[in-house]
Amino acid sequence: MAEDGEEKPRNFHEMELDDRILKAIAKLGWQTPTLIQERAIPLLLEGKDVLVRARTGSGKTAAFAIPVIQKILTIKQTAKHQEIKALILAPSRELCHQMCGVIKELTIKCSREVRCVDVAPPVELSVQKPLLVEQPDIVVGTPTRVLKHIKAGYMDLKKSMELLVIDEADLVFSFGYESEVRELMERLPSIYQAILASATLSEDVKNLKSLVLHNPVILKLEEPEIAPASQLSHYHLMAEEMDKATILYALLKLHLIRGKSIIFVNTVDKCYKIKLYLEQFGIPICVLNSELPAKIRCHSVNQFNQGIYDTIVASDEKALEQPGNPNDKNNSELQKSKRKKDKESGVSRGIDFQCVANVINFDFPLDVQSYVHRAGRTARGNNQGSVLSFVSIREKPLLEKVENHFKNDQDDVSIFKSYQFKLDEIESFKYRAKDAWRAVTRIAVREARLKEIKQEIFNCQKLKSYFEDNPTDLQVLRHDKALHTVKIQQHLSDVPEYIVPPTLKGIAGLGRKKRKRENYRTSQGSSSRFEAKKNNPLLSMDFEGFNSKKKKKKNNN
């Protein structure tokens, strides 16, 4: 107990974890457990069934992966046979892939002792059979794939399995896996330890709970829905569509955004509109939406995580599912998009975009939950982040809803700070932006959508054969290539000196990109001379901030 009577937070090395796990955690740079890890790991090591509700980005994957690995290492000290000991189910291929990645990182120092196989990829079952014959310690997969392997006789869990994890449990039923899960249960042993992890405690989760868990401990962490203000800053900027486009162009082109960014819009068409618009200025950007093949989405996120590109534009699932206003001209598109999306297509839910410094809401999210999900893409684990929302007059009520939702009853303070951007300083950007925005016609967008799907399906084939030969090389295909359905005018990719606002000369500039990226990396980890800006990655976009800094410098001289 701490002196003030409060229980002192437990550190990883106080959790009786195997040295090899502790070394892997150190290698990942995790200094302290997140709240959910601190609470869940000891309970799971004690052998309890646990239902965990934690916000996205809270570190919940490791909260159950660490005890699973620890238990397997312990079992193996005395085990006579190599057997599948743990089954981890997740509702999408992306999440399975991500989960396996986390387990591989956490078992880097005991990779011979603890092996994990992901059966989610949609290849012929027989292709995965040799992997299962070797009896990996952990199998990760969607309920459908796991059931198929069991039925095909490639895997038998009835006698060996001791641990069952269901991640993003609230999506498991809503993604239509109920009958598979029920069937699967009949093929599992009668006694095992089970863990359900979920962002919400919906009716579906309650149903799953009664199906899977025995006398569980329920960990409903009193965590805020979003990361605290010390970790996550929220800015808003009032602007209509054309001004939003101009500001985005200026921010990206002048490299005023530090680190990796996700731009959110509300429709798939808008994703392509933004991509085609920015392409004209030579700004590469990758699109992520539910129409693209799952394998490609996965690969895109991987490349983004590896820092191969810095900017992704995404239309999130919440927005796609929103029935919307029947008079809204976007509504018919929403309906169409809904029809086309595949069963596992959640874009912003559960997928771990790593080290995202900024979330930019080009379109303001349609409800509070969607804002929370988008904001949850940044400030993950113990990292810093910012959300910058562009807000049109029509979107203002949506902003107010979010503002009221998070207003503290006592101090009545808004989470949003107004973002200072002097639009008149980038007058010359306006003309270029207007031309480029208009050049992206509806036909160009439609062609781009089709072209990208074709291109990515072709990539899928290339991916398949390439990765068979080079399984570790993910860098061969890029998803941020230009689509060229709008005529590219070479001169637009340059930023002539005369259009750079005087306050930014010497600060903004091409060729700074690499340095900026490095700045972000250092700001996420060790101390550096950029440490002062660490708390606010978007600070570099504050024109007034620059002014005052420049003035100070002058005065000092």
Residues that bind ligand AMP (CB under 6 A): 30, 33-34, 37, 57-62, 352, 354, 380-382
Residue 396: how many other CB atoms lie within 10 Å: 14
Torsion of CA 184, 187, 191, 195, to 10 degrees: -20
In the complex, what is the shortest distance from the CB of residue 54 to ligand AMP, in angstroms, rounded to a whole number?
7
Nearer residue to ligand AMP within complex by CB, 34 or 536: 34
Residues composing the chain: 557
Beta strands at 385-391 and 356-361: parallel, antiparallel or unpaired: parallel
Nearer residue to ligand AMP within complex by CB, 250 or 355: 355
Q: How far apart are CA 134 and CA 196, in angstroms?
A: 27
In the complex, what is the shortest distance from the CB of residue 381 to ligand AMP, in angstroms, rounded to a whole number?
2
Name the token pair of 31.
């200094």
Nearer residue to ligand AMP within complex by CB, 244 or 377: 377
Instruction: For the chain, give percent helix, strand, coil, nearest 5.
Output: 45, 10, 40
CA within 13 Å, CB half, 414: 11
In the complex, what is the shortest distance from the CB of residue 416 to ligand AMP, in angstroms, rounded to a whole number?
24
Q: What are phi and psi of 550, to 5 degrees?
A: -65, -45
In the complex, what is the shortest distance from the CB of residue 400 to ligand AMP, in angstroms, rounded to a whole number?
29
In the complex, what is the shortest distance from the CB of residue 351 to ligand AMP, in angstroms, rounded to a whole number?
8
Q: How far apart are CA 398 and CA 461, in angstroms?
A: 42
Nearer residue to ligand AMP within complex by CB, 261 or 485: 261
Nearer residue to ligand AMP within complex by CB, 34 or 198: 34
Q: DSSP states of 289-325 as a string?
A: -TTS-HHHHHHHHHHHHTTS-SEEEEE-HHHHH----
Name the token pair of 330.
């976007």
In the complex, what is the shortest distance from the CB of residue 25 to ligand AMP, in angstroms, rounded to a whole number?
7
Report the interhelical angle of 268-279 vs 331-340 (nearest 10°).
100
In the complex, what is the shortest distance from the CB of residue 301 to ligand AMP, in angstroms, rounded to a whole number?
12
In the complex, what is the shortest distance from the CB of residue 361 to ligand AMP, in angstroms, rounded to a whole number?
20
- Tell me which H or E stretch contains 486: none
Nearer residue to ligand AMP within complex by CB, 307 or 545: 307
Q: How far apart are CA 40 and CA 9, in angstroms?
A: 13
Residue 359: how many other CB atoms lie within 10 Å: 26
Owner of token pair 């591989």: 104
| Residue among 189, 196, 174, 264 nearest 51 (CA) | 196
Q: What are phi and psi of 353, to 5 degrees?
A: -85, 120
Number of helices (H), then strands (E), belonging to the chain: the values are 20, 14
Q: Which residue is nearest to ligand AMP (CB)?
A: 381
Q: Which residues of 345-357 are buried (b: 16+ CB within 10 A; e: fewer)?
A: bbbbbbbbbbbbb
In the complex, what is the shortest distance from the CB of residue 194 to ligand AMP, in angstroms, rounded to a whole number?
18
Helix runs in 29-168, H state only: 35-45, 60-78, 93-106, 125-133, 143-151
Nearer residue to ligand AMP within complex by CB, 97 or 244: 97
In the complex, what is the shortest distance from the CB of residue 98 to ligand AMP, in angstroms, rounded to a whole number?
8
β-pair partners for 294? none
In the complex, what is the shortest distance from the CB of residue 363 to ligand AMP, in angstroms, rounded to a whole number?
25
Nearer residue to ligand AMP within complex by CB, 98 or 459: 98
Nearer residue to ligand AMP within complex by CB, 29 or 189: 29
Nearer residue to ligand AMP within complex by CB, 380 or 449: 380
124: exposed, middle or buried (C-beta count within 10 Å: 0-12, 13-18, 19+)? exposed
Nearer residue to ligand AMP within complex by CB, 58 or 160: 58
In the complex, what is the shortest distance from the CB of residue 317 to ligand AMP, in angstroms, rounded to a whole number?
16
Nearer residue to ligand AMP within complex by CB, 9 or 323: 9
